[in-house]
Amino acid sequence: GAVVSQHPSRVICKSGTSVKIECRSLDFQATTMFWYRQFPKKSLMLMATSNEGSKATYEQGVEKDKFLINHASLTLSTLTVTSAHPEDSSFYICSARAPGLAGARTFYNEQFFGPGTRLTVL
Amino acid sequence: QKEVEQDPGPLSVPEGAIVSLNCTYSNSAFQYFMWYRQYSRKGPELLMYTYSSGNKEDGRFTAQVDKSSKYISLFIRDSQPSDSATYLCAMSVVDTGFQKLVFGTGTRLLVSP
């Protein structure tokens, strides 16, 4: 249980195009989803927190208009990188949280992570 | 100063060795302390979590927290080649009403047969 998937796993695009990444909770309903970004040999940096049906809360320094997040249902959140540039190349990871999920270690509302999406902008 | 400091490694050990991974932190508001394992090109998976100072054991893994020194450790006994991965420490904090995770950079561990 508590499986999170991401699609696509890798994407290569040209500079100036937009890319959409999907994050799905496969066997539970996620009230909250998180989007992280990870550079090589760097830590995961939280980009934004999204609750189903409401606007995402972005971390300081993250451009809202560039990284569009939609959490339209309890099982799906999308991250769209608009007008991508080479500096946006990174590993993007989502996570989902479901308080009260059977078997989850809800001591801190455990987050379940997806496998990540490698974005390369040429 | 980063909130969470972790040596990126790599740390190379022979099979069967005891591995010690460490993180220091500066924010006293951190509540929970976790260790994640991340294989190449995969998402992190939770290994262990602790709340209070002291030790917590789970099989070959022992997590240790020293809140007075703001220092946490993960010990791996009888290390195996399958333990080769990046280990990230993470800490939770409530910020603007949300509980968030702050990660270290991760330490890459290589266990050779």
How many CA within 13 A on the CB side of residue A68?
11
* Average pLDDT value over all residues in chain B: 92
Q: Cis (ω within 30 of 0) for the bond into A8?
A: yes
Q: For residue A17, give how far its alpha carbon lies from the nearest alpha carbon of chain B (Å).
A: 24
- Which of A46, A49, A113 shows the shortest C-beta gap to B44? A113
For tokens 């270290």, the residue is: B104
- Cβ density class A85-103: b for 16+ within 10 Å, e for less: eeebbbbbbbbbbbeebee
SS3 category, B28: coil
pLDDT category at A101 given cuts 50, 70, 90 is low
Please check whether residue B40 touches A, CB under 8 A: no
Task: Decide: residue A53, CB within 10 A, 0-12 exposed, 13-18 middle, 19+ buried.
Answer: exposed
Q: Does B27 touch chain A (CB under 8 A)?
A: no
pLDDT(A100) > 70: no
Q: What are the CA-CA distances from residue A111 to residues A47, A58, A65, B13, B92 (Å)?
A: 15, 18, 26, 30, 11
Which of B23, B42, B88 best probes binding to A when mutated, by most A CB atoms within 10 angstroms?
B42
Using the predicted structure, report yes or no on whether residue A103 has a pLDDT greater than 60. Answer: no
Interchain pair A44, B32: CB under 8 A: no
Q: For residue B7, which of B105, B113, B109, B111 has the smallest C-alpha distance?
A: B105
* pLDDT tens readout for residues B55-84: 999 999 999 999 999 999 999 999 999 999
